[in-house]
């Protein structure tokens, strides 16, 4: 099987994993959010902030090195597993002990027991990190889809049942733990690799320098992405954090669905092309063009329909989140650039550069949030958006330095989809303004979505026919590969 076919297969199954996990998780979140108040959702959001910090340390590091490293042998795998055991056990044990202190920091006594139970989730993820890395290295994303579906189904059932019975934030905590437990069982059963009781210090040292950079990078990246939520919870309380978190949850789901799957496969594909920079550039341009055609209409479209979307799915009590979502959804556009830049940086082993970039990003985010937090959630959202847009030239410069990407060529691949999507968003927003006085939110949302689909198709035909033809050719090629395999 050639690299192009592997990449297409990987892209399909990686996207399928992202779609299944994120959509199912969003459905569960929607169901629970209708049963809980913003303050209760905010309490769980505090759990998520701490959980995300722990998983930032445990999910990557050594595991991502296993995807990138050449050569790789069995002793690397076993050594990485036992390092993970030591790391996950220590970090999760520390979380259990630190839970009362964190509860006092947020001034929420009910936070401590939630954190002590949810500490099981990252422990379970860390214990199957090597299996997941091997599947990603081999572009075997199909089993990851099975893992996601099984975990979400089991966790979702438990979470919804507990929410209906009035357990509040505990329902979401239980859903997280059950999801991770079932997912770990699937990976151990199906990945085709189990650890042996052996450890090589020299092999562990082979992985450490790059993994140390990656771990530091993930920590800094976490600070960059979550400092606004942390400060909102700390300075504005759980109710404001609940409103802010709901808007971000929609954006994060869309970002993962549309961008992250392609970026994950891009990192694996680019890593295989480390010595062939011209092929790497061509692969990047193709991914950027396809990502622009698929991602920008979703993010800009969601921004245009944000108010009706939130009211339709979450209820009138969450309308304030719609205003915030209208701004936050636009983060998907600079996010597309940063995700592909990150894939290139990781694939070329330039962890130090990535760490420096993310450190600058984190410092900038802290500054803009501290300045804007006194003005409310909408101003915070606008400040974060402007900060992300300001870093786009930096990402383009980095890709030029690493693999010779010309910013003009990059933007030429990206702009056709963006311009068509921007035109569509203007039309959809105008339709919403016209319909607001006469239709309910669900009815107006339905009309806006229908108009948006038609408008985007027409604008693509008029202004981006070449890019559209190339994207359709890629899809046709993938269908042919699937039929030959069958």
- Do 195 and 265 fall into the same domain? no
Integer Cα distance of 125 and 68 in angstroms: 20
SS3 408: helix
Distances (CA, A) of 356 to 213, 334, 359, 361: 10, 18, 5, 9
Integer Cα distance of 94 and 88 in angstroms: 10
Integer Cα distance of 93 and 48 in angstroms: 17
Residue 62 within a domain: yes
- Do 330 and 456 fall into the same domain? yes
pLDDT of residue 463: 80
85 versus 117: which is more confidently predicted? 117
Contact 427, 369 (CB under 8 A): no
pLDDT of residue 484: 46
Contact 246, 310 (CB under 8 A): yes
Integer Cα distance of 19 and 106 in angstroms: 33
Mean pLDDT of 157-181: 87
Q: Which domain holds residue 466?
A: 231-486
- Do 23 and 137 fall into the same domain? yes
Which tokens sit at 473? 């050719």
- Do 54 and 126 fall into the same domain? yes
Which tokens sit at 479? 């269908």
Integer Cα distance of 484 and 478 in angstroms: 10
- Do 280 and 355 fall into the same domain? yes
Has residue 264 got a pLDDT over 60? Answer: no
Which tokens sit at 426? 């203007």
- Do 84 and 149 fall into the same domain? yes
Contact 37, 240 (CB under 8 A): no
Mean pLDDT of 289-304: 88
- Do 358 and 288 fall into the same domain? yes
256-260, 290-294, 475-479: segment of lowest average pLDDT: 475-479
SS3 478: helix
- Do 376 and 238 fall into the same domain? yes
Mean predicted lDDT score pLDDT of the chain: 80
Has residue 2 got a pLDDT over 60? Answer: no
Mean pLDDT of 453-476: 80
**Total number of domains constituting the chain:** 2
pLDDT of residue 317: 82
Residue 439 within a domain: yes
Has residue 177 got a pLDDT over 70? Answer: yes
Integer Cα distance of 287 and 292 in angstroms: 8
Mean pLDDT of 109-127: 88
Has residue 192 got a pLDDT over 70? Answer: yes
Has residue 139 got a pLDDT over 50? Answer: yes
Residue 225 within a domain: no
- E runs forming strands in 261-335: none
Q: What's the sign of the alpha-carbon dihedral 308, 442, 256, 422?
A: negative
**Which residue, chain included where needed, has tokens 């700390």?**
234
- Do 326 and 267 fall into the same domain? yes
Integer Cα distance of 323 and 327 in angstroms: 7
Residue 469 within a domain: yes
How far the first Cα of the chain sits from its last, in Å, is: 14
Residue 226 within a domain: no
pLDDT of residue 271: 57
204-208, 382-386, 452-456: segment of lowest average pLDDT: 204-208
Has residue 407 got a pLDDT over 80? Answer: yes
Integer Cα distance of 184 and 125 in angstroms: 7
Residue 57 within a domain: yes
**Which residue, chain included where needed, has tokens 């092999």?**
203
Q: Which alpha helices (H) appear in 107-196, and where do they start and end?
A: 111-118, 120-127, 129-137, 142-164, 169-190
Residue 100 within a domain: yes
Which tokens sit at 395? 């990402």
- Do 172 and 246 fall into the same domain? no
Mean pLDDT of 118-144: 80
Integer Cα distance of 133 and 67 in angstroms: 6
Has residue 1 got a pLDDT over 50? Answer: no
CA atoms within 13 A on the CB side of 412: 7
pLDDT of residue 365: 85
16 versus 299: which is more confidently predicted? 299
Has residue 390 got a pLDDT over 70? Answer: yes
pLDDT of residue 225: 76
Q: Give the chain's count of helices (H) and strands (E).
A: 21, 0
83-92, 262-271, 392-401: segment of lowest average pLDDT: 262-271
- Do 237 and 173 fall into the same domain? no
Among residues 178, 199, 220, which one ends one of the domains? 199
pLDDT of residue 357: 80
Mean pLDDT of 379-407: 89
- Do 65 and 118 fall into the same domain? yes
Residue 205 within a domain: no
């Amino acid at each position: 099987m050639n690299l192009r076919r592997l990449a297409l297969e990987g892209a399909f199954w990686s996207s399928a994993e992202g779609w299944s996990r994120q959509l199912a998780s969003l459905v569960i979140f929607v169901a629970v959010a209708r049963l809980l108040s913003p303050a209760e959702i905010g309490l769980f959001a505090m759990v998520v902030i701490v959980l995300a910090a722990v998983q930032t340390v445990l999910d990557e590091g050594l595991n991502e090195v296993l995807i990138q490293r050449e050569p790789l042998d069995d002793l690397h795998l076993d050594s990485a597993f036992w390092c993970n055991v030591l790391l996950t056990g220590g970090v999760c044990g520390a979380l259990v002990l630190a839970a009362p202190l964190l509860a006092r920091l947020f001034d929420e006594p009910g936070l401590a027991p939630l954190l002590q139970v949810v500490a099981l989730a990252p422990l379970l993820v860390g214990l199957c990190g090597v299996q997941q890395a091997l599947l990603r290295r081999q572009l075997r994303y199909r089993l990851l889809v099975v893992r996601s579906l099984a975990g979400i189904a089991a966790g979702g059932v438990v979470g919804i049942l507990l929410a209906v019975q009035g357990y509040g934030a505990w329902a979401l905590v239980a859903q997280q733990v059950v999801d991770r437990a079932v997912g770990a069982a699937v990976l151990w059963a199906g990945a085709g690799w189990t650890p042996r009781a052996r450890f090589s210090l020299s092999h562990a040292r082979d992985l450490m320098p790059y993994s140390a950079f990656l771990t530091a990078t993930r920590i800094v990246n976490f600070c960059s992405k979550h400092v606004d939520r942390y400060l909102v919870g700390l300075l504005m309380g759980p109710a404001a954090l609940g409103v802010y978190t709901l808007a971000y949850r929609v954006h994060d789901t869309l970002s993962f669905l549309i961008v992250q799957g392609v970026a994950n496969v891009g990192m694996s594909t680019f890593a295989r092309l480390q010595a062939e920079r011209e092929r790497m550039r061509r692969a990047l341009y193709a991914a950027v063009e396809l990502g622009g055609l698929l991602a920008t209409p979703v993010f800009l479209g969601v921004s245009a329909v944000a108010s009706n979307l939130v009211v339709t799915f979450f209820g009138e009590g969450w309308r304030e989140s719609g205003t915030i979502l209208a701004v936050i959804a636009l983060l998907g556009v600079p996010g597309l650039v940063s995700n592909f830049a990150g894939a290139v940086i990781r694939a070329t082993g330039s962890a130090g550069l990535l760490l420096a970039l993310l450190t600058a990003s984190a410092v900038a985010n802290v500054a803009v949030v501290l300045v804007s937090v006194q003005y409310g959630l909408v101003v915070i959202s606008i400040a974060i958006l402007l900060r992300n847009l300001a870093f786009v030239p930096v990402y383009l410069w980095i890709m030029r330095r690493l693999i010779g990407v010309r910013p003009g060529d990059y933007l030429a691949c990206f702009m056709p989809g963006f311009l068509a999507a921007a035109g569509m968003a203007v039309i959809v927003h105008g339709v919403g303004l016209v319909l607001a006085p006469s239709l309910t939110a669900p009815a107006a949302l339905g009309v806006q979505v229908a108009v948006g689909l038609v408008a985007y198709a027409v604008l693509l035909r008029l202004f981006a026919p070449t890019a559209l033809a190339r994207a359709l050719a890629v899809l046709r090629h993938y269908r042919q590969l699937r039929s030959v395999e069958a």
